[in-house]
């Protein structure tokens, strides 16, 4: 679709109702992830973000892992509803993007820039958030629906074992995406903009 940047930002939304029948190609999705990793900024150019793209059976396996982990902690009478949400909103999509931060890189930044060591973890979260936003917005601009999920740390060990994730990588978020099947509700602004923006000149 290639809207201008502000249009794309305005139209990015949380979309749960998705399926796997997307018009975009996997190559286009890969290009978005590669572009984000190349151009999203990070403190001291640390480039600590790592991304894993799960497609096909790998995508399905992730959400089976999520259900397996949740089944151990959710009471049986509530698990059916949880399983239904996962199956219809996340597993039903085309793929999932996993966002990681490489703790070994962050720890090295703490050593090299010791004056700012106490800020490095926060700045690492900042760069992860920027990657998430860029990828989410770009997927939306491609006509795909997506949402941001946080089943970590519950699933971390199982996911790492399944796909051989390096020990230093810390899972931050999961972004299932797919063909958008419904329009989102109207965006709600809880606090007026005049209370959220101040300009001095």
pTM > 0.85: yes
Q: What is the pLDDT of residue 2?
A: 67
Q: Which helix (H) or strand (E) holds 173?
A: strand 169-180
Cα–Cα distance, 82 to 74 (Å, whole number): 9
As assigned by CATH, the class of the 17-183 domain is alpha beta
Q: Tell me whether strands 18-19 and 49-55 are parallel, antiparallel or unpaired.
A: unpaired
- Residue spans of the domains in the chain: they are 17-183
Q: Could you tell me the CA-to-CA distances from 12 to 5, 39, 64 in Å, in that order?
A: 11, 20, 27
Q: What is the DSSP string of 65-112?
A: HHHHHHHTTS-HHHHHHHHHHHHHHTTTSSEEEEEEEEHHHHHHHHHH
* pLDDT (mean) for 62-69: 98
Q: What is the pLDDT of residues 162-198, one digit of tens each?
A: 999 999 999 999 999 999 998 888 888 889 999 999 9
Residues 98-141 have pLDDT tens digits of 999 999 999 999 999 999 999 999 999 999 999 999 999 999 99
Assess whether pLDDT exceeds 70 at residue 1: no
């Amino acid at each position: 679709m290639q809207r201008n940047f502000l249009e794309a930002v305005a139209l990015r939304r949380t979309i749960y109702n998705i399926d796997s029948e997307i018009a975009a190609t996997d190559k286009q999705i890969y290009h978005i992830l590669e572009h984000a990793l190349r151009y999203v900024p990070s403190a001291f150019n640390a480039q600590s973000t790592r991304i894993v793209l799960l497609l096909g059976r790998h995508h399905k396996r992730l959400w089976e892992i999520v259900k397996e982990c949740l089944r151990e902690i959710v009471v049986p009478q509530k698990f059916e509803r949880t399983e239904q949400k996962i199956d219809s909103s996340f597993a039903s999509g085309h793929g999932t993007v996993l966002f990681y931060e490489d703790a070994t890189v962050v720890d090295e930044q703490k050593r090299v820039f010791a004056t700012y060591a106490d800020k490095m973890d926060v700045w690492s979260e900042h760069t992860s958030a920027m990657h998430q936003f860029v990828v989410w917005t770009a997927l939306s601009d491609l006509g795909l629906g997506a949402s941001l999920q946080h089943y970590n740390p519950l699933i971390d060990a199982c996911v790492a074992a399944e796909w051989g994730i390096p020990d230093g990588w810390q899972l931050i978020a999961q972004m299932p995406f797919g063909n958008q099947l419904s329009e989102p509700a109207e965006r709600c602004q809880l606090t007026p903009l005049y209370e959220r923006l101040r300009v001095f000149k």
